[in-house]
Structure 1
Amino acid sequence: MYTSAKKVAKVPAETGITASFFDKEEDRIANKDLFNKPKDVEPVPNELMEVEQEADDKERINKRLLIQTKDGARVKGVGIAKNLPQGFYDDKTKDANIRGVETPADKAKREWNEFTMAMNEETVKSNQMLEEEDESFNFSKDIDEVDQQIAMFTKTKSLADRVKDLRKKREELRKKKQEAAQDEEMSSGSEDEVDWRQQNIF
């Protein structure tokens, strides 16, 4: 089969098709401009290459595919399939194995382990903080109890002093009453004597 000139005219210059691709001489003449035109291909910017390199670094090498050789660790199939784009195969596990990167199951397991380790660290930190809070709470509770005991002791002492004062006053009142009663008895006794000695009775 021969390719028509109309179809060839639609082929862009960037494709890099060689002149020997077309069988007819007239087709080569008609499309002479396509082959003589220099390629205007811009080099890939360094920034884009760095981004791609970072993306490649993010993918981890599949540990199951490591094979020990004389030269050291080598990944099986990387030389053949490293240029395949991610998602080339529908099966994600097969895609990862052929590209020599971490499978979804391994990635999920690794992420789960990292998550559990991070959670364990946070749990330990949280427990330490709770213990410190408990210690400070117990310390402040002890201080509050001591303050309360001091307040109760002060109140008890003031009540004891008041009771002592009241007893003292009561004792003084009792003594005054006794003295008053004795004075009254003495005065009534002296009146009786006077009345007894008097001989005239009214």
Structure 2
Amino acid sequence: MSDTVLRVALVDDHAMVRAGQARLLALEPDLSVVAEYADADAAFDALRAAPHTVDVLVLDISLPGRSGLDLLRRVTMHWPRLAVLVCSMHDSPSMLAQALAAGARGFVTKASDPGVLVDAIRSVARGEQALSPDLQAFHGQPAKGLSHDTLSPREFEVLLRLARGESVDAIATSLHLSTKRVANLQSSVRAKLALSNAVELVHYARRNGLVTE
């Protein structure tokens, strides 16, 4: 981490969201947006080329191609000291649990006040955990027995992608897995959630706040 200014990179596929975040952070003398990325692969490639140029990665979960959760796991594996703050519209307990398990130091929702994002960036840079107020009640509570809490990280990833309407072939390409492997993961997800078809899977994901309408 730099001595005086925290270098922040934004990863979000919506240009207006990135622009808003960048304008907000530009008002803070100790924060500087040094890079913006619209997808996970672009962010990962840039970090691999220059891994010590970013102090905090502000990351959305819903991204085209590789998801934010997949990027989060890769970043944690390659650069465990890089602070990652998830900033997402999702506010479900399972999404929070998956993000923290994957290595996020913090999680704020896009419905939070702007100051929450600013404070959270500073907190995760110090090595502290930061959660927006609407998520704090979820953290540390025992699981409520939701079926998707039993999914592995890879199964959860496939669930999110299937719920967004992605095909097995598209998921296999994005995650660099074989089509057979993704098909097996799809079967495992449906079995664990007791779902018969794709329509039931989408309804399940929406009902539990895993995807939006």
Alignment TM class, shorter chain as reference = under 0.3
Structure with the larger RCO, 1 or 2 (CA within 8 Å, 6+ apart): 2
Scaled by the length of structure 1, what TM-score is found? 0.20
